[in-house]
Structure 1
């Protein structure tokens, strides 16, 4: 999209100035003429940091996107045309980026483009997976059920993602608070007692000497600890981005006792849900596999899907290559094999997705119940050790004084 500044005359001859966005100057001219304006000047604006759209995170939140799909489907069911539906949804959305995208989609639709073509100009909002589902719905004349299926897909995906986040949110919060408390004790509380201990020249217990040493180190070299922490995080992130080391790290995470099981189930549920939605919407299986690859972030599972797609191209089955991969459990591959044999693969994949989503929820609750007491006990031991290291020599000093 390009921005244009214009000067025009309205029907009564009054001068109006403003700016608009269009794909090119010809479209900008047409937009102004369609509104009855006589163009005096029209200039393309150079993109700068002052007029560039800047946003952080996702342009459209998952929940907002699901609501959009539900409402769009309801409007089509009520008998409105696609253009009318997009227009009404644009008018009510408060998200300015989404509003702008829907505005240009409406323009493209009025110029005769299909919904898929119009959405293709906004890939940050409408993914390739989404556009292929819409294309299939348009070509088969079943756009309304396609929108309903997409809403269900994104709703399930968002739910799973939120549950994964909530599982680690509480332990992460406890860990941050624990670190803050320990640092506070070492920097501000423990040094208060150092002078008193030194004045009596008493021999301090080993645990007290250790805590005092830790307090002295943290107080004098906090910047070094911060630097080392940032360096380790940066190194891990860099290694994770590399293809070979990243795959090894992902494989290591997937094979961890509890966390690995959760990650595996999360990926299996996402793959099954994606394939079920695509195949159920008449997308060819090879194309559905390729689209699912693009939505899969884990490189281990992505590599397995690529090999499976190559097997399908050569006339092989869907289930067989997955059976030979360690990350895909027996139940997953057997249900796919049954779906292939009976010709009910989309429905079978849907059942697999539901099973692993429920199983994932149970695993998340188990991990949460395991981590919470573990972190609390760890925090209690660390803080208790610091307090004990102060109390022990104080009792000895009081005994000496008495």
Structure 2
């Protein structure tokens, strides 16, 4: 966290200066644009240390945000002030990381910051849509309505994630069992047969030689150390690669081109895009500003690059549907429904229906995908175990044949 001095221009041409605490220059620029200002110069002037920085960078589940927004909405709707609501929330929130974050926000609001400004200081932890929507609610005087919409948004987001986790649970269990069975057989069962095979005095079949070589390698301590080191380094390098722009682009491209998986991934992106856009438009956020927020919510590099072009086209007078179709990511139904919504003047409502449709589609599609993965994993497990068993039996049959 650092403090930035900025110089910006209002729509009337007046020059505005000030300071703002944020993680980087982009956060400051986003904050200024959301205020209707045009950034001219942003410079870091000092670091800001907070005692909970390490804790606040840990992820908080969507369900926790849903509960937070629902409780916040209930208190604001009942007439409790923002400061009073935050005071109650920090005391009763069960998630310790979220409770600590609310406590910091409470302290910042007590110092004179607005709620959105205090939340923006934790932009590395909080969803961008939460910060942007609350700022809209403060400006428009509809904070309770915004919090109610946000609670529903996070509930649906959490529901999709739980569907994916639940659907993947069975294949993951099968995969872990398969790996455990193979390692057990290679490390404990196959070595029992080694001495018998070596004393036979006859040539071993090729499958048996391969199996013995794999077993000897797996039980070698230096191989285990080398494999563990390789896996650790690979995970570290992949995490760094995944966070880079090029890495995100390559990974997204691979996922989208993978049969079956890519189709479901497109539906997830379509659902997330439509739900976030509908939520923002419902509360009166301008389309271009809404697309900037949606860009961060979708969190996909291909979509992000495409939305930059979409915003440029809209600024030139284009509608939303045509340039959105040019991205080539979303299903055709998304752009068609958006086109209908633009013509009918009910874009927010139509986009909301699109999100609901793809939420239901995802449930069916994920179930179908898992129904294809399960038999494939069982088949692979059967082939591996079968190879091990046959490799151990073949020398025995050869020995009986020689005796005969």
**TM-score bucket of the superposed structures, by smaller chain:** 0.7 to 0.9
Taking a change above 3 Å as real, the CA distance of residues 91 and 368 of structure 1, as seen in their structure-2 partners, is: same
- Alignment-derived partner of residue 307 in structure 1: 309
1:340 matched to 2:338: no
Measured against aligned partners, the alpha-carbon deviations of 1:123-152 in whole angstroms (never above 9, x if no partner) come to 244443212211222222222121110001
Deviation at 1:232, TM superposition (A): 5.0
Structure showing greater Rg: 1
Deviation at 1:381, TM superposition (A): 1.4
Measured against aligned partners, the alpha-carbon deviations of 1:165-190 in whole angstroms (never above 9, x if no partner) come to 33334323322332232122122221
- Alignment-derived partner of residue 325 in structure 2: 323
1:183 matched to 2:219: no
Distance in 1 between residues matched to 2:207 and 2:302, nearest whole Å: 46
Measured against aligned partners, the alpha-carbon deviations of 1:186-221 in whole angstroms (never above 9, x if no partner) come to 222212111112212133333222212222233333
Contact 2:128 2:297 survives alignment (8 Å)? no
Q: Unmatched 5+ residue regions in structure 2?
A: 2-20, 22-47
Deviation at 1:80, TM superposition (A): 2.4
- Alignment-derived partner of residue 90 in structure 1: 90
Deviation at 1:343, TM superposition (A): 0.9
- Alignment-derived partner of residue 66 in structure 1: 66
Contact 1:137 1:146 survives alignment (8 Å)? yes
Larger CA deviation: 301-310 vs 240-249: 240-249
- Alignment-derived partner of residue 12 in structure 1: none
- Alignment-derived partner of residue 138 in structure 1: 138
- Alignment-derived partner of residue 389 in structure 1: 391
Distance in 1 between residues matched to 2:101 and 2:244, nearest whole Å: 34
Contact 2:56 2:122 survives alignment (8 Å)? no
- Alignment-derived partner of residue 354 in structure 1: 356
Distance in 2 between residues matched to 1:331 and 1:66, nearest whole Å: 29
RMSD: 2.9
Contact 1:289 1:309 survives alignment (8 Å)? yes
Taking a change above 3 Å as real, the CA distance of residues 279 and 53 of structure 1, as seen in their structure-2 partners, is: closer
- Alignment-derived partner of residue 276 in structure 1: 278
The number of residues matched between the two structures is: 358
Taking a change above 3 Å as real, the CA distance of residues 277 and 172 of structure 1, as seen in their structure-2 partners, is: same
Structure 2 matches for 1:3-402, cutoff 5 A?
A: 54-55=54-55, 58-110=58-110, 113-220=113-220, 221-230=223-232, 233=235, 236-237=238-239, 239-244=241-246, 246-398=248-400
Deviation at 1:366, TM superposition (A): 1.0
Contact 2:303 2:329 survives alignment (8 Å)? yes
Deviation at 1:394, TM superposition (A): 2.3
Look up the SS of the partner of 1:283 in the other structure: coil
Deviation at 1:92, TM superposition (A): 1.3
Q: Unmatched 5+ residue regions in structure 1?
A: 2-22, 24-45
Contact 1:137 1:143 survives alignment (8 Å)? yes
Measured against aligned partners, the alpha-carbon deviations of 1:95-137 in whole angstroms (never above 9, x if no partner) come to 4443343334334545554322332333244443212211222
Taking a change above 3 Å as real, the CA distance of residues 100 and 239 of structure 1, as seen in their structure-2 partners, is: closer
Measured against aligned partners, the alpha-carbon deviations of 1:295-331 in whole angstroms (never above 9, x if no partner) come to 2221111111111111111211111112223212221
TM-score, normalised on structure 2? Answer: 0.79
Look up the SS of the partner of 1:324 in the other structure: helix
TM-score, normalised on structure 1? Answer: 0.80
Measured against aligned partners, the alpha-carbon deviations of 1:47-69 in whole angstroms (never above 9, x if no partner) come to 79xx7664387353322221121
